[in-house]
Structure 1
Amino acid sequence: MQGFSLLTPARTLFGRGTLSRAADEIARVGQRILLVRSGSVAWADVLAADLGARDVQVVLLQSGGEPAIDDVRHGVAKAREIAADCIVSVGGGATIDLGKAISGLCMSGGDPTDYLGVGKSPPPRLQDPVAFVAIPSTSGTGAEATRNAVITLPERQLKISLRDPRLVPDLALIDPALTDDLPKGLTLSTGLDALTQLIESYLCNRSNLLTDALCRDTIPMAITALRRLMDDPDSAARDVMAQASYISGIALANSGLGIVHGLAAVIGSRGGAHGAICGRLLPAALIVNREAMIERGHATGRIDQVDAWLSAALGTGPGDQQAGHGARSLRDFMDRHSLASLGHLHCGPEVWTDVAQNARTASSTKANPVDLSEREIARILELSELLPDRWTRSGVI
């Protein structure tokens, strides 16, 4: 029997109404709180007031999008200044990543870049992080359940993950009500991020018994819920996507990802939104991976199952059972709802060769179900921009 391990938040509270318990739960974790918050989540002010009413010291730090190394340095300095014994993040994946990085680095000496493997190999071991609480306001990255924090190094045009099992939150508090007012575009891109993580974790070469079970049950529900949220948003679908995001974080933390995230790490360093990049690449990655698996004599049962799930939830009309139809249906779904093209995500044809070359050695790519050549990776980029009707004419499906 295959061995496995399971890494999850020490404690998770999930469900509508959970926000009402947040202040009491956090007060049990720490008394000097650095509250890292997204400016768009007004409830963070309510939490700060509730904590103050419990005689908990709270200092606010506003996040400004995906954390750059200077943001991390500033946050670490602030946490040290107040001798924080708990970091709390309220916001999307970027805000959670910033809080997670501050938690992991504020007890360690030197510069944050020392721990990213920049100029040192291997990087030094982190000192034990301070307690960390994650409260997500989007359903996408699953950062509330992962052991890594993505940090941008602008001067190098790189995104690098700070990774350590001790970075998994001590408490993940997930109330889908925080996602109810998300704009349609953000709901789509973050939902596609969660869906991609689930699918890549299911297909990757490091999947195991537990991650398989989690992904197998969650992927079909997530596809259906995301479709519902684009057609007629409702709270039940929001709940499903919040659950899917959390489970996707657990899955990727305990298995791996694949070429989509390998490419997204490279493209995202150029400024494109991560969830939109993942969504835009996923259909073509499914097609190219399947072609490569057949060519190398690998079984395609899992990828065919994913395609069938996509067809069942998104497909229409004859041909729904044809191999690749699910990927085509996903592509049509994204186009119908105006997901940004690769060109608008700072990845036009002029950079495809460099992107494919760099993505081949990205850490996420190593878990792809099959080893793709640089040319096959470039084909994913090309197909992602090719109009779907030309997929059929050129024999893709």
Structure 2
Amino acid sequence: MPPASFEFATATRVLFGPGRLAEVPDLVRALGGQKVLLVTGTHPARAEPVRAALERLGITSTSFRVAGEPTVDTAREGTAVAVEARCDAVVALGGGSALDAGKAIAALAANGGDPLDYLEVIGRGQALTKPPLPFVAIPTTAGTGSEVTRNAVLGSKEAGVKASLRSPLMLPRVALVDPDLLEHAPADVLAAGGLDALSQLIEPFVSIRAQPLTDALAREGMQRSARSLRRAVLHGPGPTEREDLAIASLFGGLCLANSGLGAVHGFAAPLGGMLGAAHGALCAALLGATLEVNLDALRARAPEHPALPRFRELAVLLTGQPEARAEDGIAWVKDLVQALRIRGLRSMGLGDADVAGLVSKARAASSMKGNPLPLTDAELTTLVERSM
């Protein structure tokens, strides 16, 4: 093994624990916020206690609702609202869509220009030059880990893909994770989010950029997900399950931000643009086949690769069986996906005629760079076909 060499970056502050939502107004005031853009998800009423608490401290707020997964147009509209209201801080409360939109808006409001000036893959990829407006991220789901990542994923209807607006400057000033916010989450949201979080723990663990800090977080997060996700979805999330899922999601965000991802997310980005399906559900549909194809490729072409023994460790962590083989871990993942009633890609709208174009788009996705080894077009096609 080569000598360890790595970087680890995250939000300036991470606050975790039940009931910590009440701390938001004081946090905003400490950041100098007086006029806040309050970015919400599909249900803005969930942010009403935060809005009222901000008002009690004399902090005004303007609301911006993100109804679906954010697009380039969403970022433009939200930025215009923030600039017109002269907002000096952004608070996002919701799922990954609200958090990504909030991150993008905070960056664009401070830097000016259009999202396409800065977007990867489909934009000009320019670097941000100014720090974003102070940004507080409050997840109400347990999946994306967006509260501790340095990018915002935006869809483009014209290009039919999703791409990232990315910069170290975009790491939130505060990530506040309150597990109590998961108490009333619908089962399908817990399932898709939880499997997204699990993939964001697994992919960095076998990534070519794996490193000791994220390895430790991934191991802990996978064990918490393995013991609580199924029970939370099928029987409801009690306090233990809420804590486990929130930590798994948070740790997944920390892992992906510092060690990259792989083919699951390499495909999920273009699929989201093509199908309009929820990101977490796409990742869940892809996870089992991606592990299978990667394992076969490593055994066939890179038997000395340091990622290969990690597939057996994955199996031990997920199944809790010390003698588990790599195949047992993959079988465990597939069984979980089936138990949580995740649909295949075909039922989400992917047709046989779409596969070749999807493979081409996935190969160009930034997430694919972290995969344990480059997959051939034949392997990528097999991966998609097994996920249908």
Q: What range describes the TM-score normalised by the shorter chain of this pair?
A: over 0.9
1:171 to 165, 174, 178: 174
Seen in structure 2, the aligned counterparts of structure 1 residues 213 and 294 have a Cα distance that, compared at 3 Å, is same
Q: Give the letter for the 1:247 counterpart.
A: F
| 2:228 maps to 1:225 | yes
Q: SS of the residue aligned with 1:324?
A: helix
CA contact (8 A) 2:230 2:340 kept: no
2:304 to 298, 308, 326: 298
Distance 2:342 2:93 in 1: 26
Q: Give the letter for the 1:302 counterpart.
A: R
| 2:356 maps to 1:353 | yes
Distance 1:220 1:39 in 2: 31
Partner of 1:394: none
Q: Give the letter for the 2:320 counterpart.
A: A
CA contact (8 A) 2:312 2:325 kept: no
| 2:27 maps to 1:25 | yes
The number of aligned residues is 380
Distance 1:225 1:74 in 2: 38
Written as runs of structure 1 = structure 2, the 5 A alignment for 1:1-397 is 1-29=3-31, 30-40=33-43, 42-117=45-120, 121-233=124-236, 234-270=238-274, 271-296=276-301, 297-299=303-305, 300-312=308-320, 321-385=324-388
What are the Cα deviations for residues 192-250 of structure 1, in whole angstroms up to 9, with x where unaligned?
A: 00000000011100111111111122212212110221332222111111011111111
The range that moved more, 359-368 or 331-340, is: 331-340
Q: Give the letter for the 2:10 counterpart.
A: T
Distance 1:325 1:117 in 2: 37
Alpha-carbon distance, 1:322 to partner: 4.7
What are the Cα deviations for residues 175-201 of structure 1, in whole angstroms up to 9, with x where unaligned?
A: 111111111111000000000000001
Seen in structure 2, the aligned counterparts of structure 1 residues 192 and 305 have a Cα distance that, compared at 3 Å, is same
Alpha-carbon distance, 1:119 to partner: 7.1
Distance 2:124 2:28 in 1: 36
Alpha-carbon distance, 1:350 to partner: 2.3
Q: Give the letter for the 1:68 counterpart.
A: T
Distance 1:6 1:285 in 2: 26
Distance 2:324 2:181 in 1: 38
Q: Give the letter for the 1:303 counterpart.
A: F
Partner of 1:395: none
Distance 2:99 2:123 in 1: 26
Distance 1:156 1:323 in 2: 38
Seen in structure 2, the aligned counterparts of structure 1 residues 122 and 384 have a Cα distance that, compared at 3 Å, is closer
Distance 2:29 2:364 in 1: 43
Distance 2:8 2:121 in 1: 29
Q: SS of the residue aligned with 1:161?
A: strand
CA contact (8 A) 2:179 2:246 kept: yes
What are the Cα deviations for residues 369-391 of structure 1, in whole angstroms up to 9, with x where unaligned?
A: 11110110111112223xxxxxx
Seen in structure 2, the aligned counterparts of structure 1 residues 121 and 75 have a Cα distance that, compared at 3 Å, is closer
Distance 1:119 1:303 in 2: 34
CA contact (8 A) 2:70 2:98 kept: yes
Distance 1:18 1:48 in 2: 15
Distance 2:121 2:381 in 1: 27
Gap runs ≥5 in structure 1: 314-319, 386-397
What are the Cα deviations for residues 123-174 of structure 1, in whole angstroms up to 9, with x where unaligned?
A: 2434221100001000000000000000111111121100001111000111
Gap runs ≥5 in structure 2: none
CA contact (8 A) 2:200 2:252 kept: yes
CA contact (8 A) 2:154 2:162 kept: yes
Distance 1:222 1:152 in 2: 28
Distance 1:224 1:258 in 2: 24
Instruction: State TM-score, norm by structure 1.
Output: 0.92
Instruction: State TM-score, norm by structure 2.
Output: 0.94
Alpha-carbon distance, 1:42 to partner: 3.0
What are the Cα deviations for residues 72-94 of structure 1, in whole angstroms up to 9, with x where unaligned?
A: 11111111112211000000000
Distance 2:324 2:86 in 1: 59
CA contact (8 A) 2:54 2:60 kept: yes
Alpha-carbon distance, 1:122 to partner: 4.5
Distance 1:53 1:352 in 2: 54
Distance 1:190 1:117 in 2: 24
Q: Give the letter for the 1:209 counterpart.
A: P
Residue identity over aligned pairs, in percent, reads 38
